[in-house]
């Protein structure tokens, strides 16, 4: 059994978002020799992911949010705080000067390695789309398929998005399914914390 590489998830979460594309390429170089995991599969760049969740015509403004100690505690109470990252990498999407959507780029560990993904939300906090951006392990990649991801669409923080409740896991990708469920739940709590009261 391979241990989790130390601090990789924190490294991904705390890196400046402007450098995300460079980090994705760097991860390929860093891990391509790790035969236990294989080379990471990069499915979407930051720009591609933002166009999918914000829309082609929208402007996406990077809006990093500082995660306070109390927010860490809220996430911890839900078993959603496995990192000491103090930044949530949000984007505010706007059309004609009005907020049209929000997007969060984040990572969650699957079996051993982080899965990097994007979650899109409406101004009311309903999920519009979830997409895997980078997958770093040899099994479980099936979670990127729309048949799994579309289960999250239209859901809000009131839904029970745990595997086995409103979300069905992908056969052969149980740990990746749980990671994505966990990541989406984390995104909803972070959205409510920073934007839900506005």
pLDDT tens digits, one per residue of 94-139: 999 999 999 999 999 998 899 999 999 999 999 999 999 999 988 9
Rounded distance between C-alpha atoms, residue 115 and residue 14, angstroms: 15
Rounded distance between C-alpha atoms, residue 181 and residue 165, angstroms: 11
Rounded distance between C-alpha atoms, residue 84 and residue 21, angstroms: 22
Rounded distance between C-alpha atoms, residue 170 and residue 79, angstroms: 21
pLDDT tens digits, one per residue of 127-176: 999 999 999 988 999 999 999 999 999 999 999 999 989 999 998 899 99
Q: 8: which 2 tokens?
A: 């990789």
Rounded distance between C-alpha atoms, residue 152 and residue 145, angstroms: 12
């Amino acid at each position: 059994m391979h241990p989790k590489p130390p601090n990789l998830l924190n490294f991904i979460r705390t890196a400046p978002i402007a450098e995300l594309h460079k980090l994705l390429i760097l991860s390929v170089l860093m891990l391509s020799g790790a035969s236990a995991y294989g080379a990471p599969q990069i499915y979407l760049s930051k720009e591609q992911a933002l166009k999918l969740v914000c829309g082609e015509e929208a402007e996406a403004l990077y809006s990093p949010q500082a995660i306070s100690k109390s927010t860490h505690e809220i996430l911890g109470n839900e078993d959603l705080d496995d990192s000491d990252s103090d930044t949530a990498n949000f984007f505010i999407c706007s059309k004609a000067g009005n907020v049209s959507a929000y997007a969060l780029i984040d990572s969650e560990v699957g079996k051993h390695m982080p899965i990097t993904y994007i979650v899109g939300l409406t101004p009311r906090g309903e999920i519009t789309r979830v997409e895997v951006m980078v997958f770093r392990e040899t099994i479980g990649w099936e979670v990127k398929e729309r048949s799994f991801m579309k289960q999250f669409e239209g859901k809000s923080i009131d839904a029970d998005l745990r595997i086995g409740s409103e979300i069905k896991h992908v056969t052969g990708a149980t740990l990746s399914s749980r990671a994505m469920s966990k990541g989406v739940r984390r995104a909803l709590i972070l959205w409510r914390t920073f934007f839900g009261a506005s």
